[in-house]
């Protein structure tokens, strides 16, 4: 296939996945091909959901995952402290192993020639044709403002950082890995080998361990000098929109969000735990930004299943109650 969308999911993010798929159906097109990459083997509910949708497939091929997992392992083995630090925390191999499966979209055997990758905690708000069209001119396309926060991409304390990249690159080429568009085959084996060589020469010190796949993907793109375009830096200020759930100014018009009159491309519920979405879907009246939008798309095809809240809503970031604090002091784990 020429164009398609990838996402990464397992049963833990099932509710978010359903909402994402429904938002793609309504706002991007019912026939847009979507491939769900299995985060791990916990995909029974995901598999059932995919089977009910004619435009959606599930990728769970261990062979295509294996080479990218091995590449990621070698990346972090080159890091001075990462593997040892994670092992001391009881983490096997490396942190968030499943997330590196998104790299298989770059594999020459992948199904889409051009693709958009979306995290499962996103909602599509409009057709994505303009993103695919930009891939005719650049090999990597994004639409976000992550460049304003490089501390969540690279180790800014590393003396290597400004030896490898210019300050201008750091200020303008960083992106969030929750949404990006690219092409299969742009990181061939020989290029990955070259990147591993550079990392083993000490460049791995610049990687940010708390967001390993986001950091590595930024490094790969920037170090390989893959042509890059960010809509947020190229659109006029009057046309560019935000995408992050922490932005309070979005206007809801018939379950589509607008930013100063401009339709969002996508909404990213970044920083909100999947547990929060699951608890709300289980009936807990916990409020969070743009909750109604999420619930609309989650229950688009089964509105009768949408939870009916009868208690007063509690903010997702409300401080814990006195009772909760007391129980925690006793060492009793309490989820709020």
Q: Is the dihedral of CA 23, 28, 33, 37 positive or negative?
A: negative
- Annotation: CATH topology of 1-335: Spore Coat Polysaccharide Biosynthesis Protein SpsA; Chain A (3.90.550)
Residues 181, 135 contacting (CB under 8 angstroms): yes
Q: Which pTM was predicted?
A: 0.93
pLDDT of residue 318: 83
pLDDT of residue 319: 75
The secondary structure of residue 8, as a DSSP letter, is: E
Q: What is the pLDDT of residues 47-77, one digit of tens each?
A: 999 999 999 999 999 999 999 999 999 999 9
Cross-strand bridge partners of residue 34: 5, 56
pLDDT of residue 323: 52
**Cα–Cα distance for residue pair 220/266, rounded to 1 Å:** 24
- The ranges of the chain with pLDDT < 50 are 326, 334
pLDDT of residue 327: 53
Query: Residue 184: which of 121, 141, 139 has the closest Cα?
Result: 139
**Cα–Cα distance for residue pair 224/226, rounded to 1 Å:** 6
Q: What is the pLDDT of residues 230-261, one digit of tens each?
A: 999 999 999 999 999 999 999 999 999 999 99
Can you point out the beta strands (E) in 236-288? 251-253, 256-259, 262-263, 266-268, 286-287
**Cα–Cα distance for residue pair 250/107, rounded to 1 Å:** 36
pLDDT of residue 105: 97
């Amino acid at each position: 296939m020429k164009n398609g969308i990838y996402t990464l999911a397992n049963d833990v993010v099932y509710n978010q996945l359903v909402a994402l798929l429904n938002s793609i159906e309504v706002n991007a097109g019912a026939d847009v091909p979507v491939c769900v990459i299995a985060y791990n083997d916990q995909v029974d509910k995901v598999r059932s959901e995919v089977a009910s949708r004619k435009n959606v497939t599930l990728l769970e091929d261990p062979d295509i995952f294996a080479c990218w997992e091995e590449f990621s392992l070698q990346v972090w083995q080159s890091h001075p402290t990462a593997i040892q630090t994670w092992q001391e925390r009881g983490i096997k191999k490396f942190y968030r192993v499943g997330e590196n499966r998104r790299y298989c979209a770059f594999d020459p055997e992948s199904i889409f020639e051009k693709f958009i990758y979306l995290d499962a905690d996103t909602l599509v708000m409009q057709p994505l044709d303009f993103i695919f069209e930009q891939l005719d001119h650049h090999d990597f396309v994004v639409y976000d403002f992550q460049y304003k926060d490089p501390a969540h991409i690279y180790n800014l304390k590393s003396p290597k950082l400004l030896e490898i990249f210019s300050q201008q690159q750091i200020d303008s080429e960083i992106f969030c890995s929750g949404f990006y568009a690219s092409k299969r085959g742009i990181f061939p084996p020989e290029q990955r080998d070259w990147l591993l060589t550079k990392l083993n020469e000490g460049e791995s010190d610049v990687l940010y361990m708390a967001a390993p796949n986001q950091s590595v993907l930024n490094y790969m793109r920037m170090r390989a000098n893959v042509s890059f375009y960010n809509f947020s830096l190229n659109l006029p200020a009057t046309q560019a929109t935000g995408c992050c759930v922490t932005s309070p100014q979005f206007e809801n018009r018939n379950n589509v969000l607008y930013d100063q009159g401009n339709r969002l491309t996508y909404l990213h519920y970044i920083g909100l735990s999947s547990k929060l979405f699951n608890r709300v879907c289980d009936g807990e009246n916990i409020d969070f930004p743009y909750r109604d939008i999420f619930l609309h798309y989650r229950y688009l095809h089964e509105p009768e299943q949408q939870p009916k809240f009868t208690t007063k809503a509690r903010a997702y970031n409300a401080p814990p109650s006195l009772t909760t604090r007391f129980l925690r002091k006793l060492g009793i784990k309490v989820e709020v």
